[in-house]
Chains A and B, each alone.
Chain A
Amino acid sequence: MEVPTVAAMVAAGKKPEIVFWVGCAGSFDERAKKITKAFIKILSQCQVSYAVLGTEESCTGDPAKRAGNEFLFQMQALANIELLNAYEITRIVTACPHCFNTLKNEYPSLGGNYTVIHHTQLLKQLLEEGKLVLEGDQFKGKKITYHDPCYLGRANQVYEAPRSLIQKLDAELVEMKNCKAKGLCCGAGGAQMFKEPEKGKQDINIRRTEEALETSPDIIAAACPFCNTMLTDGVKNKEKSEQIQVKDIAELIAEAQDL
């Protein structure tokens, strides 16, 4: 798969219009890599002028900050900002709501000012501009429920872009009883992804999966690699992996395009 890097483009005297910030999950996590690839396929298909930072990209620092290590967070942030500013980057898209939130909200006061959008927002934009056309009816009649990632929804008020994409798929969007501003966390945020949960009655991802299953969906749509992992585990735990898929919205769009 040919993926342009910012360094290579700049060396060739060009500049991407937008940088795709892949994120650590998108780069290393087996499940999330598939989301990254689906999104890349759409970007190339729509001829978006993009590039990734590749080996120059480093963790935004989100998990460090949420774990309480402000020092490590700022080390990461300032190094990333130096890199982005050196390349004179102005627009960033990312498929990870945690990267999205950190780049968008926590980098500006450290000197990193960029227009940052989530991949669902870019996809919606491409659809509206007519660059992305959805044909076929793979999803016709399918029930899809959408799980709001905390750092996309409550934290940044992005509720509509992902939903409008699902509706464009001609699928039936079914809402869970706790959705949008009231959406229940998948349990991964605040650095929980990297530790065992505290003692309790239940794991959070199981509870959220139960809420999703109440809608008897064919597909649980996610828009965050961590939510994806949590819900996939939840569905597995409920022994429903055969019937119910957990998919990122970018994957659904790529599938609808036969990419």
Chain B
Amino acid sequence: MAYLPNLIFGLMLVGALALFVRNINRIRKNIALGRPMDRNDQKAARWKNMARIALGQSKMVTKPIAGLLHIVVYIGFLFINIELLEIVLDGLLGSHRLFAPILGNFYNVLIAAFEWFALGVLVVVVIFWCRRNVLRIQRFCKAEMQGWPKWDADLILYFEVLLMSLFLLMNATDLSLQLRGVEAYPQVGSFPISQILLPLFEGLPTPTLMSLERTFWWMHIVGIFGFLNYLYYSKHLHILLAFPNTYFANLAPKGAFANNPVVTQEVKLMLDPNADPYATPVNDTAANQKFGASEVTDLHWVQLINAYTCTECGRCTSQCPANLTGKKLSPRKIMMDTRDRLTEVAAHLRQTKSTEITDGKQLLGDYITPEELWACTSCNACVEACPVDIDPLSIIMDMRQYLVMEQSAAPTALNNMMGNIENNGAPWPFNSQDRMQWTQL
């Protein structure tokens, strides 16, 4: 019986981790539904990109207030996770503050630091909540943020308030017991913040206090297990995916759009005067390849990991010239739609145990409309603004390519422009022989 708590704890730990691993595997599988894309070159530059942008938060601070506040939460989160190691070991071994005797005085410093961080996180999270719910900063309140995304954003904040409060309450009750000289609670640690809470527990009998301490301890760790598995359903997934996402980001100049090699093959064949026009294409892929994207499975895997990494911060949309002038296009929505459709497709494929998508829906039309796609100026403001190096523009361009090359569904004006290029080598109906006329004026 004495080992019952250890056993329960062990089972919960294993359960939480198993669920987490299942979720991560699902995400990996979903991302693997994308087309191949080689992003294994320039390893040194990739590590640097990740260190600078994900670890170093360099793009977060382009908005200084939000950036600095976010850094407090980010560092706090990383740090307090060290404490988690002790909590897990205590839970498994039935010990209490296992590291205290090993670390000696340094333990006091650590615990004090954790408490300061916890306070910092609490304060910032309250500010974050106010930015969303009191100040109602525009980018948090756009159309695509209604419903679940709004809930998700707030829930994360509530979760963090809860976890930090439990952490401080757990310490406060512990300290209170230490001061009473209760045997199981040797005097260790330094509690600059939670000591403020001491008066709350003054009058309580020691046994009550002990069960309170245990309750807070358990609630805190259970909360963390819960949060860990909430990630899968939430934009909070960015805390993990920001790292691979920045590693695999596009490192080429932003203006360089990839050239499709299958098209090159076909065009070369056409331009070659010796080619037999009736010959079958060199290989089957040329004949079968669908141009552009109408479904998430037409996108490459980096675009899909982009979608799962999106934090829904809306920095992209707040810089988008189309969105700013009231067009339907929102680059954030492009990413959210891609993610939601991918999750839907993956669940559908799991259910039907098939590789064919037969749910009668697709990304183009059911999620993203041509009107949104045609509003984009390809200005790269969204790509520049994204703190985790997401590229909504590449998805927009791939979908335009599908509209034009597979459906001939360009707006009439653009068809005219392309007709002009085809016929006289300029987007306007001018004769190419007149290209030098300007010299005569």
Contact = CB atoms under 8 A, between A and B. Distances in A.
A182 interface: yes
A212 B410 CA distance: 32
Interface string A20-42: 00101011110001001100000
Given A66-B397, A110-B264, A203-B325, A105 B252 contact: yes
Contact of A33 (B254, B256, B441): B441
Given A67-B410, A190-B376, A27 B404 contact: no
A156 B254 CA distance: 7
- Which size bracket describes the interface of A in this complex? 35 or more
B438 A37 contact: yes
Interface in B379-417: 379-381, 383-385, 397, 400-405, 410-411, 413-414, 416-417
A70 B380 contact: no
B439 interface: yes
25 contacts: A33-B441, A54-B436, A57-B425, A61-B421, A63-B417, A63-B418, A63-B427, A64-B421, A65-B257, A66-B257, A66-B397, A68-B401, A69-B405, A71-B405, A75-B271, A75-B422, A79-B271, A155-B256, A182-B384, A195-B411, A195-B414, A196-B411, A197-B327, A201-B325, A202-B326
Interface in B247-289: 252-257, 259-260, 263-264, 266-268, 270-271
A246 interface: no
Nearest to A2: B439
Contact of A198 (B291, B375, B434): B375
Nearest to B268: A78
Chain B facing A: main interface SS: helix
Interface of B: 62, 252-257, 259-260, 263-264, 266-268, 270-271, 291-292, 319, 321-322, 324-329, 371, 374-381, 383-385, 397, 400-405, 410-411, 413-414, 416-418, 421-422, 425-428, 430, 432-441
Contact of B264 (A24, A27, A74, A194): A74
Contacts of B418: 63-64, 67, 69, 72
Contact of B405 (A68, A77, A194): A68
A207 interface: yes
A12 interface: no
B426 A59 contact: yes
Contacts of B271: 75, 78-79, 82
A67 B404 contact: yes
B421 A105 contact: no
Contact of A194 (B256, B417, B436): B417
B401 to A, nearest CB: 4
A135 to B, nearest CB: 27
A198 B327 contact: yes
A59 B375 contact: no
A150 interface: yes
B153 to A, nearest CB: 24
A55 B432 contact: yes
